[in-house]
Amino acid sequence: MNRAERTDLPTTPAVAIAAPAVEVAPGILSETARRFFSNRLSVLGLIVILLILFAAVFADFLAPAPRDYAVFKDTLLPPGPGHPLGTDAVGRDFLSRILYGARTSMLVGITVPLLAALIGIPMGAAAGWYGGKVDVVFLRIIEIMTAIPLYMMAIILVTIWGAGVEKIIIFLAVISWVGAARLARAQVVNLKPREYVLSAKALGASDRRLLTQHIAPNAAGPMVVALVMGVPGVIFIEAGLSVLGLGVKDPIPSWGKMIAEGAPYASSHPLLGLIPIFLIAFTLLAFTFVGDGLRDALDPNSKT
């Protein structure tokens, strides 16, 4: 009996192996951290952001006086022992206003990109994954939203429904989700044809599993970078609205509103306007440096 005629030989069934869900190895995380912290500007930006966050969170303990405590006889005092940065036009401690203003700026600047991502990422991912008519409708909506200036739309919404921290956060989140949606769609369209996605799909993985366990981990890097890079723009818009008198209202301080309040006294008391201007500029630069550092650290093709 030759080998071809034997029937008692054990047979091994063919087993299809799906590509496992992407897992981030500790080595990858340590290499990403090394690349980030080797960038001095990124580290400097991170330190500045942490200091501002610390001041914003602990403003109640760091501020020499309550945010709206005014002594009318002590208006426009120069920096001194009782008031390290002097007082404003109504006798409020300027350092206290700066610290509480950091809370407002960071609250708006961080919350708006997060909410915009929660709105835009699912929409963009669905459009990129399903394609067809869903993608066509999505692209038409994106084109319409892109044609509307973000700053002008914010002014219109604030003018109609009023100002306030909560309203500004909601307005800016509703009109700024386009960037996150476009990026999410681009990432899904780019990753959908990959072999590990097709392999898992052939084995019957659901759309939810494919998106959350196979595509999302690989798209997370650009998403995080976009999230960080979106903070400076939001802070700038909030400051601009406050300068125009359309931002947060008293007694809540804001760096942008403090610029407007100090403008009439620019010649005699320039610090009232210059300090919040410089703080906004440093904050924007800090987030930009961190965003650039994250982009370089998460890009496998970049070199340090």
Residue 26: predicted pLDDT: 55
Under a CB-based contact definition with an 8 Å cutoff, are residues 168 and 238 in contact?
yes
Q: Can you give the pLDDT at residue 28?
A: 67
The residue behind tokens 């054990």 is 10
Contact 49, 290 (CB under 8 A): yes
Q: Whose structure tokens read 């963009």?
A: 124
Provide the pLDDT for residue 119: 95
**pLDDT tens sequence across 60-85:** 999 999 988 888 898 999 998 889 99
Q: What is the pLDDT of residues 244-302, one digit of tens each?
A: 888 888 788 999 889 989 989 988 899 999 999 999 999 999 999 999 999 888 875 65
Q: Which CATH number fits domain 51-298: 3.10.450.230, 3.30.830.10, 1.10.3720.10, 1.10.10.10?
A: 1.10.3720.10
Higher pLDDT, 36 or 9: 36
pLDDT of residue 150: 82
Domain ranges of the chain: 51-298
Contact 276, 283 (CB under 8 A): no
| Percent above pLDDT 90 for the chain | 53
Measured over the CA atoms of residue 165, residue 273, residue 149 and residue 230, the dihedral's sign is negative
Q: Which residues have a Cβ under 8 Å from the Cβ of 33 and sit 6 or more positions away? A: 297
Residue-wise pLDDT for 140-151, tens only, equals 999 998 888 888
pLDDT at 94 over 80: yes
| CB atoms closer than 10 angstroms to residue 57 | 13
Tokens 């006294």 sit on residue: 265
pLDDT per position as a tens digit, 174-217 = 989 999 999 999 999 999 999 988 898 888 888 888 888 889 88
